[in-house]
A and B are shown apart, each in its own frame.
Chain A
Amino acid sequence: MIKIVKYILLDILRNKIVVAYTLFLFAITFCVFSLEDNTEKGLLTLLNLILFIVPLVSIIFSTIYIYNSSEFIELLVSQPIRRKSIWLSLFTGLAGALTLAFIIGAGIPLLIYVRSVTGLMMILNGILISVIFASLAMVAAVRTRDKAKGIGFSILLWLFFSLVYDGFVLFLLFQFSDYPLEKAMIFISALNPIDLGRILILLKMDVSALMGYTGAVFKEFYGTEKGLIVSFSAMILWILLPLLYSLRKFNRKDL
């Protein structure tokens, strides 16, 4: 398995798109911090970028990569290797490469400019979101043999998590505005990794004071050690569940 991971990882790292993605992240992060004299402001700009670009690139790149390596997968399947280890090493390779790209692209400038818990939180969340969306890409890719359909589905997934879900939350908030929804919002936020990441980072920043009562309720939950454990477990679940689902599908798939 390690051999396959190594091969996939090297293959991805040689890919021009990943290099471009890394450079892009690097350039943007540096620009943001050198243009804004206030690191807090820079962090906010970066937060929006990370929550927008990182999931998009992760999910689409991973989907395309899996489709492009379908022949390689078929070749591996014909060898005496368990399907499980093929699929998992594919995922590990993808997640590892994307994580590495994020750490080099955004992590290093962040560590240079923002030496605080907020910066670390941002790096951690960026990594988790990269991995989560790689895992979601596995689901998108395993569902259908048609490449166009698969990529379409992955774009839909991204759109759902970064836009549609929040719109739905807003709709819900207005429908149930007569009820105290602050506590329910904690649960609802955990159902979307992007929201969860955003809230975790915002709570570490000074701007959380703007969030009023809702912010206070969030802080009371996510600010504690228990809350942090719960939220990171939720993130891990967001990695594991799609991955296991896609693995099950892959095991039974007629290639």
Chain B
Amino acid sequence: MKKVSWILCCILLFNGMLKGKTLKVGKGQVIADITSGLKEISAGDTLVVAPGIYREKNLVIDKSIVMTGINHPILDGENTYENVSVKADWVTVDGFSIVNSGISSTTDYAGLKIYNRHNVTISNNILNDCFFGIYAQYCRNCIIKNNRLSAHQVQEQRSGNGIHCWKCDTMQITGNNVSGHRDGIYFEFVTNSIIWRNLSSGNMRYGLHFMFSNHDTYAANVFENNGAGVSVMFSNHVHMFHNTFRENWGDGSYGLLLKEISDSYIDGNIFERNTIGIFMEGGSRIEMYKNTFRGNGWALKIQASCMDITLKNNNFMSNTFDVGTNGSLVLNTFDYNYWDKYEGYDLNRDKTGDVPYRPVSMYSMIVEKNPPAMMLFHSLITTLLDKSEKVIPSLTPENLKDNHPLMKPLQL
């Protein structure tokens, strides 16, 4: 009993020591501006900011503190400054409205920038009309969660990326909503990180731009109506699960552009109404299961430079072209997919068709070899050619076929 009370005493004592102070600043408080408040408090304290508009140029957080806003106090960068710079570890910035950061072609101004730090949490903020939104460089173990970012620039040069991570590790990007920026979420040299449940829509270039970033996962995100869709390049061990790629329609716009990707998984995603659902170049060892391709121009363009791509149990429905390719060499496996254009039969009732399905149409091969042939798009002769090619394949790659096409779509 004595021992227990001794421990309890210790806990209470330490608890008192560990607990930081809470300082309230802002309109109607003793300290009216945040800058003085930041000077006043020490590491471990909490700074609570009252509602209002704060024009304090560049706020630098160089102590491990928690800074929270009540009713989203506005931090205005007056189109000139970087609103918040985080230059300490273990910092939390929560519940602010960060607006009008500076715009420059030489400096990457951001609404909030984290400089070479770890364990920083940025949550529940609203960023409006910032050049870059949330910018993390050389960071580790940071959480960027439930923020809402929007920008309204028209020119690509005058807009930065929404959430920009450069040379980071173990980042968590969760539940953010990014729109109107250049790239919604930008990853370069970021490893062991997760992008989860974000919505990236109406960005000028890519919804997600992802380069040289290995061992990352992005899951349950929605990428919608972005200028050029999503691009994932030069990475390995990338996991893409249950994302939705929607309405990326236009010349040179892709649902998902994959370039030089290896050892990755693309499972359970939905590709809807994109000019090209997935464009894959130089990929290897990618497993694609249970994806749904619906209403795309090209569901899948898989260049001959890809190898060991496995497509199994995917649904292909109402796409103009199912698969396009540029050569006769096929080192990929298509099996047990559902193709709505399949015209075969199933005599032994094993739910897979008895004749293989060739997803590459003759016309798509012709167009690949000779782009001006697009002039004959939807003309009678191309329909006839496709039909005759189905009977006797000559131009389409011999090995690109699904030996066990499913008779009914998978319930995904």
A→B interface (CB under 8 Å)? 38, 41, 44, 47-48, 51-52, 162-163, 166-167, 169-170, 173-174, 177, 181-182, 185, 188-189, 194-195, 198-199, 202, 206-207, 209-216, 218
Task: Collect the chain A residues with CB atoms within 8 Å of residue B275's CB.
Answer: 209-210
| A209-B372 contact in complex given A47-B378, A170-B366, A202-B378, C-beta closer than 8 Å | no
Task: Collect the chain B residues with CB atoms within 8 Å of residue A189's CB.
Answer: 375
- Max chain A Cβ within 10 angstroms of own Cβ: one of B320, B366, B370: B370
- Closest Cβ–Cβ distance, residue B111 to chain A (whole Å): 34
CB-based contact B372/A181 at 8 Å: yes
CB-based contact A210/B297 at 8 Å: yes
CB-based contact A177/B369 at 8 Å: yes
Contact for B251 among A174, A181, A215, CB less than 8 A: A215
CA distance A249 to B286 in the complex (A): 68
- Closest Cβ–Cβ distance, residue A235 to chain B (whole Å): 17
Task: Collect the chain B residues with CB atoms within 8 Å of residue A52's CB.
Answer: 380
- Max chain A Cβ within 10 angstroms of own Cβ: one of B318, B374, B381, B383: B374
Task: Collect the chain B residues with CB atoms within 8 Å of residue A41's CB.
Answer: 318
Task: Collect the chain B residues with CB atoms within 8 Å of residue A38's CB.
Answer: 295
Asked if B379 is an interface residue, CB under 8 A from chain A, the answer is: yes
CB-based contact B251/A216 at 8 Å: yes
- Closest Cβ–Cβ distance, residue B402 to chain A (whole Å): 23
- Max chain B Cβ within 10 angstroms of own Cβ: one of A185, A189, A211: A211
CA distance A198 to B366 in the complex (A): 19
> Can you show 26 pairs from A to B with CB atoms below 8 A apart?
A44-B378, A48-B380, A51-B379, A52-B380, A167-B381, A170-B376, A173-B370, A173-B373, A181-B372, A185-B372, A195-B375, A198-B378, A198-B379, A199-B375, A202-B377, A207-B297, A207-B378, A209-B250, A209-B275, A210-B275, A210-B374, A211-B374, A212-B367, A213-B371, A214-B373, A215-B374
Task: Collect the chain B residues with CB atoms within 8 Å of residue A163's CB.
Answer: 380-381, 384
CB-based contact A214/B380 at 8 Å: no
Contact for B371 among A166, A194, A202, A212, CB less than 8 A: A212
Task: Closest A residue to B381 by CB, please name it.
Answer: A166
CB-based contact A166/B376 at 8 Å: yes
Task: Collect the chain B residues with CB atoms within 8 Å of residue A194's CB.
Answer: 379
CB-based contact B370/A174 at 8 Å: yes
B→A interface (CB under 8 Å)? 249-251, 253, 275, 295, 297-298, 318, 320, 366-367, 369-384
Task: Collect the chain A residues with CB atoms within 8 Å of residue B297's CB.
Answer: 207, 209-210
CA distance A209 to B377 in the complex (A): 12
Given contacts A52-B380, A169-B376, A202-B377, 16 further A-B contacts (CB under 8 A): A48-B378, A163-B380, A167-B381, A169-B375, A173-B370, A173-B373, A177-B369, A177-B370, A194-B379, A195-B376, A209-B250, A209-B251, A212-B367, A214-B371, A214-B374, A215-B374
Task: Closest B residue to A192 by CB, please name it.
Answer: B379
CB-based contact A206/B372 at 8 Å: no
CA distance A174 to B376 in the complex (A): 13
CA distance A115 to B16 in the complex (A): 71
CB-based contact A173/B251 at 8 Å: no
Task: Closest A residue to B366 by CB, please name it.
Answer: A170
CB-based contact B372/A170 at 8 Å: no
Task: Collect the chain A residues with CB atoms within 8 Å of residue B375's CB.
Answer: 169, 185, 188-189, 195, 199, 214, 218
Task: Collect the chain B residues with CB atoms within 8 Å of residue A48's CB.
Answer: 378, 380, 383
- Closest Cβ–Cβ distance, residue B255 to chain A (whole Å): 13
CA distance A51 to B378 in the complex (A): 10
| A173-B372 contact in complex given A166-B379, A166-B381, C-beta closer than 8 Å | yes
CB-based contact A210/B371 at 8 Å: no
Shortest 7 CB-CB contacts between residues of A and residues of B: A166-B381, A214-B374, A210-B297, A211-B374, A181-B372, A185-B375, A214-B372
CA distance A215 to B375 in the complex (A): 8
- Closest Cβ–Cβ distance, residue B224 to chain A (whole Å): 16
Task: Collect the chain A residues with CB atoms within 8 Å of residue B377's CB.
Answer: 198, 202, 207, 210-211
Task: Collect the chain A residues with CB atoms within 8 Å of residue B295's CB.
Answer: 38
Task: Collect the chain A residues with CB atoms within 8 Å of residue B379's CB.
Answer: 51, 166, 194-195, 198
Task: Collect the chain B residues with CB atoms within 8 Å of residue A209's CB.
Answer: 249-251, 253, 275, 297
Task: Collect the chain A residues with CB atoms within 8 Å of residue B369's CB.
Answer: 177
Task: Collect the chain A residues with CB atoms within 8 Å of residue B371's CB.
Answer: 212-214
CA distance A71 to B251 in the complex (A): 58
Contact for A182 among B372, B378, B383, B384, CB less than 8 A: B372
